[in-house]
Amino acid sequence: MKEFLMPSLGADMEDGTLVEWRKKPGDPVTRGDIIAEVDTQKGLIEIEVFEDGYVDKLLVDPGEKVPVGTAMALIRTGDSETGQEKEQGLEFPVSEKEKVVLQPTEEHFDEKPLPQKFPGKRIKASPLARRIAEENKIDLSKITGTGENGAIIKDDVNKAIEQRTAPETEEKISETLPEKEPEKIADSGKSIRMAVAAAMSKSNREIPHYYLSKKIDMSKSLYWIKESNKERSVQERLLPAALLIKAVAKSLDEVPQLNAVWENALQIKNEINVGFVVSLRSGGIMVPSINNADLKSVSQIMDSLNDLIPRARAMKLRSSELNSSTITLTSLGEGGADTLLGVIYPPQVAVIGFGGIIEEAWAENGMLGIRPVINASLSGDHRATDGLTGNRFLTILNKNLQNPEDL
């Protein structure tokens, strides 16, 4: 039997509200099936199952707000059919990334710097205890920890909550009870804004960014797109973004250190899944992933964009499309600003930014000409890589965009 857990759809996600089960007990499921629909800050997301088997039991009712990492259902896997069942609770998905974002629901200890209220002083507490304390406005500095080395654990915080004066306690406890009614689906623009704010604040707080940029002559790439589009129906036409995504993915083959996550150490990812920033007209961004972009043709990447962008704007993405990216690409498109220096989406270690394509005076081989130019930037995590790596990446990216026919 395996537990199906509320997945994380990014470092910024803490919980989601179950809207609907798509499967019922007894139903067969195969890897990739949609098992539930969950309302998150990133809209209504279809959550996929990662096991083959049968739904044994649903543990959560529609309307419940479920923290990331909480068991939502039990899945009877192939093993259990033959009696070799094992309890393997935390086996669920896959990515290293999730292990990190799941941490807040486990009791373990760390030493995070305190909020600014207590400058210079550190308090040992488990992340779960910290979260409960924060939610209940409990001052950790006034609690004596009973955990390992005096660390404050969940029970210590709960005791402190109980010890408050009676009326206050009642009020606070009622606030922490699971909500039975579905939370009103918050104004989507506002909640996305909050999700972006949380992820970017974390990034700026924790990641020492370095920035590099390179001007790239886009004449050959744009000519290649133009010629290619002449032979295509309007529905099949390519946009420069598709070529940029392919060029970035191919360049990462040669500089794999940037296609990675930072989780106390650099962990290079095998798959190159490019998260593509889609801005919403109502404000905020969504970053669906184009998986295995290095293995796809430019046409296939354009097909992915045609599929993903409208669904991202309608906030109808699947969980696997939101939590699998290994690097982020953000492009301003035509007009507007020349340069974009991105903020890294944790736990990734790099973001590639493209400004608008503009005509510029361009000197080459002692000659002056006018060329369409794009400013490509790399924001890198300096814990993970150095400017030399970033420099190599931008050089290879330039080379690839000068040979679009090979992409």
Partner 1 sequence: MKENEIKQELYALLQQIAPETEPSALAPDENIKESLDIDSFDTLRFIVSVNEKFEIEIPEEDYGKITTIGLLTNYIQKKM
Instruction: Answer whether 54's CB lies under 8 Å from 35's CB.
Output: no
Site for partner 1 contains 226 (CB under 8 A): yes
Which one of residues 24, 121, 180, 230 is an interface residue with partner 1 (CB under 8 A)?
A: 230
Cα(64)–Cα(276) distance, rounded to whole angstroms? 31
Task: Find, among 131, 13, 7, 15, the residue nearest to 67 by Cα.
Answer: 15
Q: Is 229 in the site for partner 1 (CB under 8 A)?
A: yes
In the DSSP assignment, the letter for residue 324 is -
β-bridge pairing 327-331 and 350-354: parallel
Q: Which residues pair with 4 in a beta bridge?
A: 73
The 8-class DSSP code of residue 112 comes to P
Binding of residue 309 to partner 1 (CB under 8 A): yes
Residues 232-291 that bind partner 1 (CB under 8 A): 234-235, 237, 239-241, 279, 281-282
Q: Closer to partner 1 by CB, 231 or 364: give it.
A: 231
What is the CA angle 14-271-349, rounded to 5?
Answer: 55
Residues 6+ apart with CB under 8 A from 9: 16, 40, 42, 45, 319, 322, 323
DSSP letter string, 172-194: HHHHHSPPSSPPP---HHHHHHH
| Minimum distance of partner 1 from residue 354's CB (angstroms) | 12
Closest distance between partner 1 and the C-beta of residue 222, in Å?
Answer: 11
What does the alpha-carbon distance between residue 138 and residue 168 come to, in Å, rounded to a whole number?
12
Task: Quote the least distance from Cβ 295 to partner 1, whole Å.
Answer: 23
Nearest approach, Cβ of 305 to partner 1 (angstroms)? Answer: 7
User: Would you count residue 335 as binding partner 1 (CB under 8 A)?
Assistant: yes
Find, among 380, 338, 381, the residue nearest to 359 by Cα: 338
Among the residue ranges 9-17, 177-185, 231-239, 255-263, the one whose residues contact partner 1 (CB under 8 A): 231-239
Give 9-66 as a DSSP string: -STT--EEEEEEESS-TT-EE-TT-EEEEEEETTEEEEEEP-S-EEEEEE-S-TT-EE
For partner 1, the closer of residues 29 and 44 by Cβ is 44
Pick between residue 240 and residue 346 the one whose CB is nearest to partner 1.
240
CB 404 → partner 1: shortest distance, Å? Answer: 16
Type of residue at 195? A
Q: Which of 113, 310, 369, 387 binds partner 1 (CB under 8 A)?
A: 310
Q: Which is nearer to partner 1, 262 or 276 (CB)?
A: 276
Closest CA to 212 of 358, 384, 350: 350
Minimum CB–partner distance for residue 334 and partner 1 (Å): 5
Which of the ranges 18-26, 120-128, 224-232, 253-261 carries the binding residues for partner 1, by CB under 8 A?
A: 224-232
DSSP 231: T
Q: Which is nearer to partner 1, 117 or 281 (CB)?
A: 281
Q: Applying CB under 8 A, which part among 75-83, 91-99, 137-145, 222-230 lies near partner 1?
A: 222-230
State the nearest-atom distance from the C-beta of 132 to partner 1, in Å: 40
N- to C-terminal Cα separation, the chain:
45
Q: Judged by CB under 8 A, how many residues of this single chain contact partner 1?
A: 18
Q: Please, which residue, 103 or 191, has the CB nearer to partner 1?
A: 191
Of the candidate residues 87, 334, 359, 405, the single one contacting partner 1 (CB under 8 A): 334
Interaction of residue 231 with partner 1, rule CB under 8 A: no
Contact 314, 288 (CB under 8 A): no
Q: Which is nearer to partner 1, 335 or 366 (CB)?
A: 335
Q: How many residues does the chain have?
A: 407
Stretch that binds partner 1, among 111-119, 208-216, 329-337, 380-388 (CB under 8 A): 329-337
Q: How far is the CB of 239 from partner 1 (least distance, A)?
A: 6
DSSP 3-state assignment of 157? Answer: helix
> What residues line the site for partner 1 (CB under 8 A)?
226, 229-230, 234-235, 237, 239-241, 279, 281-282, 305, 309-310, 333-335
